[in-house]
Amino acid sequence: MTERPRVAFFDFTGCEGDQLQVVNLEERLFDLVEVVEVVSFREAMSEHSDDYEIAFIEGSVVTAHDEERLAGIRENADVVVALGSCAAFGGINAIRNDQDFETVTERVYGDDADMIEANPEARPIESVVEVDATIPGCPIDREEFVQVVTGLIRGVEPTLPNHPVCVECKLEENECAFHRDEICLGPVTRGGCGADCVGEGTHCWGCRGMVDTPSEDAYTAVLEEHGLDAEEIVEQYQLYWGWQRPERATQEEAQ
């Protein structure tokens, strides 16, 4: 990695909220461009170069064209970072993976469904190319982004927390959502967010994806107390895990 690495941002299928979180660094965005050279960021600038070292990729893969474009980016970049949950594990787009694809296209495009080209599933970028680092979250946390960028510049091996959100809820001294008769995905969701949604008065929606191995890594105490197990909660709640759930089931079976 050069002293001031050349970085590029790319968007696939998603809401562009993770790039917006980067813009929302406000004044600190101008500090960021002191330490990295942004050579492509279509949403915010017209310049573009294919000569970059780090590629930040937002959004899921949903068309054959997406796959080709992504492969091209992988060839150009030394480091590929999945920015946000859609790129990291399919995210909210993967809700439709649990629905019959023909029904999906008919519902949205009616008689014109055949005009639309799309894959039957929304997939994360790791289903097409190798990924070197992941910043999950819907949206990403701005501080986590800054930490990952700083780490990459210093050559630190990127890591992801693998404790469930419950651990952070305890630290924050939040009232457990289960005690309020709400279903919360905190016991099986990857922490690192400071249990922010619970702190804001609701529950965990699972936006950072599952812990590596739900059957082993889940915070089972709270689940058992309420007559649930990790398996049930993983199967029953579907907002973010439409791609991850079948993948993880296969992996756990193989182990």
Instruction: Return the sign of the alpha-carbon dihedral for residues 160, 68, 59, 81.
Output: positive
* Six-digit token string for 214: 């739900």
Sketch the per residue contact string, 220 through 249, with other proteins: x for CB under 8 A, - otherwise.
-------------------x----------
Query: Rounded to whole angstroms, how far apart are CA atoms 132 and 171?
Result: 30
Residues 43, 172, 212, 216: which binds other proteins (CB under 8 A)? 43
Contact 244, 97 (CB under 8 A): no
Is position 145 an interface residue for other proteins (rule: CB under 8 A)?
no
Q: Let me know: does 60 contact 91? Beta carbons within 8 Å.
A: yes
* Shortest distance (Å) from residue 117 CB to other proteins: 8
The binding track of 84-123 with respect to other proteins, each residue x by CB under 8 A or -, is -------xxx-xx--xx--xxxxxxxx-x--xx-x-----
Stretch that binds other proteins, among 145-153, 156-164, 177-185, 227-235 (CB under 8 A): 177-185
Between the two ends of the chain, the Cα-to-Cα distance in Å is 36
Pick 92 or 220: Cβ nearer other proteins = 92
Interface with other proteins by CB under 8 A: which range of 22-30, 72-80, 211-219, 228-236? 22-30
Residue with tokens 């193989």: 254
Instruction: For CA atoms 163, 167, 172, 174, give the dihedral sign.
Output: positive
Indicate which single residue of 4, 163, 170, 180 sits in contact with other proteins (rule: CB under 8 A).
Answer: 180
Following DSSP, what letter does each residue of 138-181 receive, concatenated? Answer: SS--HHHHHHHHHHHHHTPPP----SBHHHHHHHHTPPPTGGGT
Q: Which of 7, 8, 17, 165 binds other proteins (CB under 8 A)?
A: 17
Q: Are strands 37-41 and 6-11 parallel, antiparallel or unpaired?
A: parallel
- Return the number of the residue (55 or 92) whose C-beta is nearest other proteins: 92
Considering only residues 67 through 86, tell me which ones interact with other proteins, judged by CB under 8 A: none
Tokens of 238: 């579907």
User: Residues in the site for other proteins, rule: CB under 8 A?
Assistant: 12-18, 20-21, 23-24, 26-27, 30, 33, 38, 41-48, 62-63, 65-66, 91-93, 95-96, 99-100, 103-110, 112, 115-116, 118, 138-139, 175, 177, 180, 182, 196-197, 200-202, 205, 239
